[in-house]
Structure 1
Amino acid sequence: MTTMLSLLASLVVIGGAWWAWTVVRWVWLRPRAIEKCLRQQGLNGPPYKLLHGDMKQMSAMARHTAMNAKPIGFSDDFLPVILPFYHHIIHTYGKQSFAWIGPVARINIMDPQLIREVLVNNKVYKKPTPNPLVRFLVSGISSYEDQKWAKHRKILAPAFTQDRLKHMFSAMYTSCNDILVTQWTKLVSENGFCELDVQPYIDDFTSDVISRNAFGSSYEQGRRIYQLQKEQAMLTCQVLQSVYFPGRRFLPTKKNKRMKEIDTELKSILSKVMEKKERVMLSRESGDHEDLLSLLLKSTMTTNGDPGMSVDEAIEDCKSLYFAGQESSSNLLVWTMILLSQHQRWQTKAREDVHQVFGQNKPNYEGLSRLKVVTMILYEVLRLYSPGTIMTRTTYNETKLGELTVPAGVQFLLPIIFVHHDPEIWGKDAKEFNPERFSEGIAKATKNKLAFFPFSWGPRICIGNNFALMEAKLAISTILRNFSFELSPSYTHSPSYVVTLQPRYGAHLILHKI
């Protein structure tokens, strides 16, 4: 008995020592070794601080900026407002610098050549394993890697072909006409103009579009999904401002409870939508089973030896694609209306472009590709106000990136919006709205560099990028045919970052019926 107790005591001591060594290596020895490696190769950054790294400073700067947010001019640099910490790092330590996300080093990559290398080689540079709490918002295909990602991409791709987009056009036009044109016409009917915040209407429109075209769900369901994911996004931003430690998601905090409640309700809504769609498919009430939800359901019912995806995976894909499809499209349209209100000359040119292509006829799918000025404007809005402002990648093995030898486990920050605003790439007017820079296409505007990637790039380019651009072209064309618009005196220009880039105080415009 004594021998057994001694053996157990020895195992406990050995286990405790191993655990202590693992923790010390994780929070101190490895970060210090990586810091030395990066500095020896000429990279600069703040010194590593035990466990938290730069997270306390990042959180403090974000809170300070939010509490002291002030209106700015359209040509002012808003990057210090939306991403104060990364702005500080880049301007203090240089474009190729590093910071600390807890005990993990994160290297800033702003060289277009290196950006191309990272985004092309998706088998080497992968998305970091997300904080378990972040998975409530960022899940499904957007978080998968390797064979699992390839499998889901293959299943979903047919929903976004040119033929499918063309098929979606009619429902998309109906949403635009019902939610935007009809409602706004009623509001301006009495005086010929009205002042309103257009953002909630555009949110409803993009929510209805993704609901109808991808999931076949009702307007009410789409609106509720949007509200829940909007709240989840705000909670996720708060989570990302602190270090995650193992087991934290199980703590019964108010934030954790609410994130789980939102996730449970979202899954319940989407499960009911899927059950209804499955009944329609099985009863053969509709011969068109090629929308996004149908493809997901077909995969879960596959019986030819290929296991397809599970129902839970299908629900996670629904959550991911719904959020991306709604939020990004909404922000693109809102910023486009704001900038065309500020730049009336470009609003006039865009309206002339629409009339030249469509005349007195309503917009059609084929004509969208001929909208040269509208396309230039949308590209410039995506450059200045990219819905996604940053992206991260990591490598799990030591790798060579350009002249750098990067240890395993280091992350890479690709600060999309900083690259989009870089005067060395775009010229002295990089902060200004100038769609003319895209008059000869993206390649000419970027001098054939990978300096414009609002939808990512390479194998993992956003699967819905053509869907989003079609939606934006249709909506702007329809709005321009029916209304002229200008900034309201109550509009306050203050970009804000909550997972995506959006106007902090809404988009208050004055609409005039044409």
Structure 2
Amino acid sequence: MGADRFEGAKLVLSLVFGGILWLFIQLYKVFFVKPQKLASRLRNQGIRGPSPSFLLGNIPEIKRIQLQVQTKSSAAPKTSQNENQPVIDHDWPSTVFPHLHQWLTEYGPTFLYSTGNIQLLCTTDVEILKEIGLCTSPNLGKPAYLSKDRGPLLGQSILSTSGSVWAHQRKIIAPELFIDKVKGMISLMTECTMSMERSWGSRIESEGGTAVIDVAPDMRRLSADIISRACFGSNYARGEEIFVKLKSLQDVMSKASIGIPGLRYDLDKKFHIIESPTCGFLNRHFPTKQNREIWKLEREINSLILNVVKQRADANHENDLLQMILEGAKRDDEGLTSRVNLNKFIVDNCKAIYFAGHETTAITASWCLMLLAAHPDWQARVRTELLEICQDQLPQFDMLRNMKVLTMVIQETMRLYPATAYLIRSAEHDIKFKDVVVPKGVDIQIPIPIVQQDPAVWGPDAHQFNPERFANGVLGACKSPQAYFPFGVGARICAGQHLAMAELKIILSCLLPKFSFSLSPAYRHAPILGIVVHPRHGVHLCITPIS
């Protein structure tokens, strides 16, 4: 009997040991063998880059470079000739992405680095960008970590999927954001903006004729109100409730991210690693305080969206974006929605549209008001144009195309301050761009703000606010029009770009004829990268009514 127990124990130990050994071998392959093979294939083509450390890749070096730049910035703060005028340096990418700047200088416009087991081919080569824009191959998709690391926010939506699933979602959603559909949203955009304008007017009057307002949160609320009405129709109050929870979810997630897979960022002025890709899966699923809060918000948001969907099934149909998504999903003739799960399809894409539809537009509107406040000559030019076009009337859709100066200002704002930091594509199979064969499993990373402020492409004034460069459109703005891509490129260009541009024009054309904007001495210029590029300390402006 004792011998049987002993043999049984030996068997159990053997199985446990075998399991541990198997797991170790698999981890060794995933985190060492595969990355080394991918890196070797690129190095054999002459692609260089910093030497990675075991398991963490170049994360420790990224941290070190960031700390060095931060220390130098703290030791030698920039000053202005006018002590009441806030310092605004548009060359913020050099401090937010100093590791990329250093490696671009050292290794050239295309180089390789890694974050854990993720191999990143970073490039600012405009010719490669042009070829990516022209590529329609299904071999180029979105990296898997988008749906993993950003799963609670993006899920398996149009923003994070690839291949046939993405194509199916694009087919349903994109037509509902074409220019003819946007035209029908203009009145609700105007209505929402006028409501905020009245609120500002009352506040300014109560404060004696001028008020210092942080316009960033107000732009978020305004944009959320617009997308709530556009997406949820008469249920927009429920949409606002969803927005509040989505904003909370975004805040929780962005507190621990600077947009580099595997590297977490502490907003309290210190960089440190609290997660590596090696233990990322465990960290995402371990019940930490942060994860519990993320899971709770995700459940609440999903439940709210599904409740609205259920109400639609029990009531008359409304002609809003949610209804169009529902009908498009039901018209699925390829069976793809059933594979993804109808409820998940609806929930994930509602969250994605809500996030992309309000956050990026709100941030761009905030930067635009800041730049006009810092450049009163351009503010006056835009205001004069708007008064000539609108003639004391509310802006209409047909007026938007005539707003040339305003369009130039918006384009220059998105050049200097694109909401999205990176254009990232993943090679689903080996694929060639220019003279580089990108192996399957490598992610191509293009830093949008660095390319859009490259003096070699944009000229010596690349770091300056100069909307005049867009006087003849994007084609005449720089040497290579492919270097301007705030909405992305190619087949995956932002489906909501027409909605975003119309919303920005409506918001600004309603506000600028009514108010004068100047920078508050309290304004601190500090762009920072969370999930999107945003003003770390808000956008505090002095606002005065125009009589």
- Fold match, TM over 0.5? yes
Report if aligned partners of 1:438, 1:444 keep a CA contact under 8 Å in 2: yes
Give secondary structure in 1 for the equivalent of 2:224: helix
TM-superposed deviation, 1:222: 5.0
**Match of residue 315 from structure 1:** 347
- How much identity, in percent, do the aligned residues show? 28
Residue identity matched to 1:28:
F
Distance 1:146 1:29, change over 3 A: closer
TM-superposed deviation, 1:7: 10
Report if aligned partners of 1:89, 1:99 keep a CA contact under 8 Å in 2: no
Residue identity matched to 1:183:
S
Distance 1:410 1:223, change over 3 A: closer
Distance 1:252 1:66, change over 3 A: farther
Give secondary structure in 2 for the equivalent of 1:350: helix
**Match of residue 268 from structure 2:** none
Q: Are 2:172 and 1:137 equivalent residues in the alignment?
A: no
**Match of residue 477 from structure 1:** 509
**Match of residue 270 from structure 2:** none
**Match of residue 277 from structure 1:** 312
Deviates more, 1:231-240 or 1:196-205: 231-240
Q: Are 2:192 and 1:175 equivalent residues in the alignment?
A: yes
TM-superposed deviation, 1:184: 0.9
TM-superposed deviation, 1:56: 3.1
Q: Are 2:349 and 1:331 equivalent residues in the alignment?
A: no
Partners of 1:496 and 1:13 lie apart in 2 by 47
**Match of residue 490 from structure 2:** 458
2:37 to 33, 39, 43: 33
2:292 to 226, 241, 257: 257
Residue identity matched to 1:129:
A
Q: Are 2:322 and 1:293 equivalent residues in the alignment?
A: yes
Deviates more, 1:20-29 or 1:351-360: 20-29
Q: How do 1:8-87 and structure 2 match up within 5 A?
A: 19-59=23-63, 73-75=87-89, 77-87=91-101
**Match of residue 413 from structure 1:** 445
Distance 1:465 1:340, change over 3 A: same
Residue identity matched to 1:110:
T
Report if aligned partners of 2:212, 2:540 keep a CA contact under 8 Å in 1: yes
Give secondary structure in 1 for the equivalent of 2:120: strand
**Match of residue 141 from structure 2:** 126
Partners of 2:92 and 2:285 lie apart in 1 by 37
Report if aligned partners of 1:208, 1:222 keep a CA contact under 8 Å in 2: no
Report if aligned partners of 2:255, 2:530 keep a CA contact under 8 Å in 1: no
TM-superposed deviation, 1:17: 5.5
1:209 to 214, 218, 226: 226
Distance 1:82 1:277, change over 3 A: farther
Deviates more, 1:231-240 or 1:127-136: 231-240
Distance 1:325 1:254, change over 3 A: same
Partners of 2:153 and 2:333 lie apart in 1 by 32
Distance 1:300 1:366, change over 3 A: same
Partners of 1:96 and 1:513 lie apart in 2 by 50
Partners of 2:178 and 2:386 lie apart in 1 by 25
Distance 1:236 1:464, change over 3 A: farther
Residue identity matched to 1:145:
S
TM-superposed deviation, 1:328: 0.3
RMSD: 2.8
Residue identity matched to 2:327:
K
Partners of 2:332 and 2:440 lie apart in 1 by 40
**Match of residue 103 from structure 1:** 117
**Match of residue 241 from structure 2:** 221
Distance 1:20 1:194, change over 3 A: closer
2:180 to 163, 169, 175: 163
Q: Mind listing any 5+ residue stretches in structure 1 that lack a counterpart? A: none
Report if aligned partners of 2:360, 2:419 keep a CA contact under 8 Å in 1: yes
**Match of residue 487 from structure 1:** 519
Give secondary structure in 1 for the equivalent of 2:47: coil
Deviates more, 1:134-143 or 1:369-378: 134-143
Partners of 2:27 and 2:523 lie apart in 1 by 51
Give secondary structure in 1 for the equivalent of 2:429: coil
Distance 1:228 1:9, change over 3 A: closer
Distance 1:363 1:66, change over 3 A: farther
Give secondary structure in 1 for the equivalent of 2:502: helix
**Match of residue 343 from structure 1:** 375
Partners of 2:252 and 2:493 lie apart in 1 by 24
Partners of 1:15 and 1:480 lie apart in 2 by 67
Partners of 2:107 and 2:58 lie apart in 1 by 14
Give a deviation string over 1:68-124, Cα, whole Å, max 9, x none.
976753245211332233333323333211111112321112111111222332522
Partners of 2:489 and 2:183 lie apart in 1 by 24
TM-superposed deviation, 1:344: 0.5
Partners of 1:313 and 1:450 lie apart in 2 by 33
Deviates more, 1:63-72 or 1:365-374: 63-72
Give secondary structure in 2 for the equivalent of 1:189: helix
Give a deviation string over 1:186-241, Cα, whole Å, max 9, x none.
12225322112111211110010110111232174254134324324414616741
Report if aligned partners of 1:136, 1:232 keep a CA contact under 8 Å in 2: no
Residue identity matched to 2:151:
R
Report if aligned partners of 1:112, 1:449 keep a CA contact under 8 Å in 2: no
**Match of residue 276 from structure 2:** 243
**Match of residue 449 from structure 1:** 481
Partners of 1:489 and 1:377 lie apart in 2 by 23
Q: Mind listing any 5+ residue stretches in structure 2 that lack a counterpart? A: 79-86, 264-274
Q: Are 2:415 and 1:379 equivalent residues in the alignment?
A: no
Deviates more, 1:328-337 or 1:140-149: 140-149
Give a deviation string over 1:24-54, Cα, whole Å, max 9, x none.
2332233333333333322221112111101
Report if aligned partners of 1:299, 1:308 keep a CA contact under 8 Å in 2: no
Under a length normalisation based on structure 2, what TM-score does the superposition of the two structures give?
0.85
Give secondary structure in 2 for the equivalent of 1:349: helix
Partners of 2:510 and 2:367 lie apart in 1 by 16
Give secondary structure in 1 for the equivalent of 2:482: coil
